[in-house]
Amino acid sequence: MDLPDSSKSTGELMLPEEAKLIAPRQLAHLGDAVFALYEREREIMLSVSVKQMHERVAHRSSAVVQAELLQKIADSLTDAEKEIVRRARNIKAPSGRSGGQDKYRQSTAFEALLGYLYLTSRRRLNDLLAMTI
């Protein structure tokens, strides 16, 4: 799935300096939606039923799997992307999460990275998402 190249009504993406001013939790909120849409679009051609599609998307959207996906792409991240990941990973995680605090923080970092890239570079976002398959 290739996401469109613009996010503002003017057709321009946000500058990285602007996106870095957004709180990591907000970037993660956006990244969660981006990843869910990416996974749903990818699964629509692979699943034989809506139930199967939902189960596959829910599995890949879990904190444990997203933490694994972050590790999978970690060596390919730029310094700026690593900084976004570091900032988001340091957010205090709610207690009682299944998979543990560490996995939750890593998945939040993964989602924040996706949110940041959605705002700044769709091409880079698509490249990193392709590495997660």
The catalytic residue positions are 32
Read off the pLDDT band of 98 (50, 70, 90). low
Please give the single-letter amino acid code of residue 84.
I
pTM of the predicted structure, to 2 decimals: 0.86
Handedness of CA 67, 111, 44, 1 (dihedral sign): negative
Tokens of 105: 């923080």
Q: Which domains does the chain have, with CATH numbers?
A: 16-131 (1.10.1520.10)
Q: What proportion of the chain, given as a percentage, has pLDDT over 70? A: 86
Mean pLDDT of the 111-132 span: 97
Residue of 27, 118, 107 whose CA lies nearest to 70: 107
